[in-house]
Chain A
Amino acid sequence: MIGYETFDAWWWPYVFIAIAGWLATDIWRWLGVLVGNRLSQDSAALTWVRAVATALLAAVIAKLILYPSGELKNVPVALRLIAVTAGFAAFMIGGKRIWIGIVVALGLLIGGQVLIDPALFAG
């Protein structure tokens, strides 16, 4: 099967990215334009599409927290959940100000890691 390292040419990775990355994402955007062009504002169909979009994003959020990529993997899942829950609570109590939620969540995430392993603070 053709893969990322199949051809040694400098341009091949770009073709790979264009097909598996650009085309794989933009076809959905184009389809979205064609569908969205047929939806009238404040129709029930648009409410449904918006609800689907919101539920999709919520699922992405939950997955980014529970099954993260990169360095976040090394933070205990309980600490991630406590930080995001407290952050969201602070956001609601603080009059839906987004920066309050972010400061509380990140503060707890970093503070919690320092509490668990003070050596991290040095590195």
Chain B
Amino acid sequence: MSISSGQHGAHWFLKGARGIASLPAIILMSAFVGFCGFAVEAGIPLGETVFMTGMIWALPAKVLLVGSILAGVSLPAAFITVALSSIRLMPMVAALIPEIRTEKTPTWLLLLLSHFIAITAYVFTMERIRDVPREHRVAFFAGFGVTVTSANIVLVSVIYSTVANLPAMVAGALFFLTPVYFLTSIWASTRDRAGHIAMVIGLALGPLFHQWAPELDILYAGVIGGTMAFAVDRLWKRGARP
């Protein structure tokens, strides 16, 4: 790597790091305040709450793990619950990787950086990555991922002792912020028609499958809904071309 490309890399890493002041990052931090309150309520000690924040990172998985601990389930049962809910990370990572890597990006680096992928990083990156030169996309993503994860680790450690005093209505609003933000930002950042169709079908199928298979509802809704959206989009394209 030449000196100038190294400097460019640092420049784009810092640009990604500046994403800490973006709407997605601020909303995520508010959601972490909500999660921290939940962990305190559940009696999870400070050290473990901070450890979870860094090691799991994905917020829904943490909420489920705390829920499993509260319910007193066994280690294998907790593992299966969290693992099933986290399958969704696989298609998200698989969709994001082709956007950021170049032919020269080493796989070990992508494996390492994949830890920072959760819904917020996915949405943030998909929204902005087209404006980043391809050779600097990994640096840009790393800058955002590392900064936002570290910031939330610090945030959780700092607010842990005071968060219990949060008024109930504010705590409720913090839990509501996340779905509203995901809904609007994913809609805004989706570029293809198949994605918009998938969004609508997924919203309907999630609660529907929840009635039949509460453990696997998200997975079913994703695979079946996504495949339906993909098929509808293909048929639509074929229809448009006589």
Contact = CB atoms under 8 A, between A and B. Distances in A.
Contacts of B167: 123
Given A32-B94, A51-B194, A52-B198, A21 B55 contact: yes
B86 A52 contact: no
B175 A21 contact: no
Given A37-B101, A47-B230, A63 B57 contact: no
B127 to A, nearest CB: 10
B119 A57 contact: yes
Given A25-B58, A33-B111, A102 B75 contact: no
A17 B51 contact: yes
Interface in B30-50: 34, 37-38, 41, 45, 47-48
A1 interface: yes
B115 A29 contact: yes
Contact of B73 (A3, A39, A83): A3
Interface string B197-227: 1111111111101100000011101111111
Contact of A32 (B57, B93, B172): B93
B97 A36 contact: yes
Nearest to B214: A67
A120 B173 CA distance: 13
B203 A17 contact: no
B206 A109 contact: no
Given A24-B61, A25-B61, A54 B94 contact: no
Contacts of B87: 28
B229 A56 contact: no
Contacts of A113: 169, 172
A60 B114 contact: no
Interface residues of B, number: 107
Contacts of A93: none
Chain B interface, >50% SS class: helix
B242 interface: no
Contact of A106 (B86, B177, B192, B229): B177
B98 interface: yes
A4 B52 CA distance: 14
B117 interface: yes
A59 interface: yes
B190 interface: yes
Contacts of A53: 88, 91-92, 94-95, 122, 222, 226
A41 B91 contact: no
Interface of B: 23, 27, 34, 37-38, 41, 45, 47-48, 51-52, 55-58, 60-63, 65, 67-69, 72-80, 82-83, 86-99, 101, 107, 110-111, 114-115, 117, 119, 122, 167-169, 171-173, 175-188, 190, 192, 194-195, 197-207, 209-210, 217-219, 221-227, 229-230, 233
Given A25-B57, A51-B197, 14 more contacts: A14-B47, A19-B75, A24-B86, A29-B117, A33-B93, A35-B93, A53-B92, A58-B203, A64-B178, A87-B180, A102-B184, A106-B176, A106-B180, A120-B168
11 contacts: A1-B77, A20-B68, A21-B82, A28-B86, A48-B227, A52-B226, A55-B222, A60-B179, A61-B182, A83-B176, A83-B180
